[in-house]
Amino acid sequence: MKTLKLSLQIISFIMLLSTVTIQAGKISGIAPSYNKVYRSDRIGDSYHFLLLTQTGQYFYVSTNRTDKLTSAELKSKNLLNILKKKQSWGQSFPKRGKYTIDHGKIYTKLLWDRIKMLSKKKIKYLNKTFYLK
């Protein structure tokens, strides 16, 4: 009976930890502008967009359907439909996830990709430079 109770406590503790957004510390140096859309210059025929929130989420899209997106559009679950309305042809590849701060540096949680702050208006992510527009 005691082992069952201990097992349930451990499982509930693990579930609690998995639902809490853990940010390991403060960002050293420059903090990003949260809920603002960063956009890359034109790469090939596409633009890349990145948005960071204060709650530890990031939104990323690569598309040749448009060169402008608002923060509400980028966060929308209907992003692909919004992009189809802006332009009837082209490709779009959205990605969203969580990020964490480790030793003052920002990383995505899934693949541990670095989001490097170059300045308040400039971010480097996946070998692309994004500018606050």
Q: What is the pLDDT of residue 13?
A: 56
Q: Which residue has the tokens 């969580």?
A: 98
Full residue range of the structural domain in which residue 36 is found: 24-132
Within 1-133, residue ranges assigned H as helices are 2-19, 71-75, 79-86
CB-CB contact of 110 with 96 (8 Å): no
Domain containing residue 123: CATH number: 2.40.128.500
Per the structure, how many domains does the chain have? Answer: 1
Query: Does residue 17 lie within any of the structural domains?
Result: no
Per-residue pLDDT reduced to its tens digit, 25-54: 567 778 899 999 999 999 999 999 999 999
- Which of the two residues, 114 and 89, has the higher pLDDT score? 114
In a domain, 2, yes or no: no
Report pTM: 0.79
37 occurs within a structural domain = yes
Weakest mean pLDDT among 3-12, 22-31, 35-44, 121-130 = 3-12
The verdict on residue 75 lying in a domain is: yes
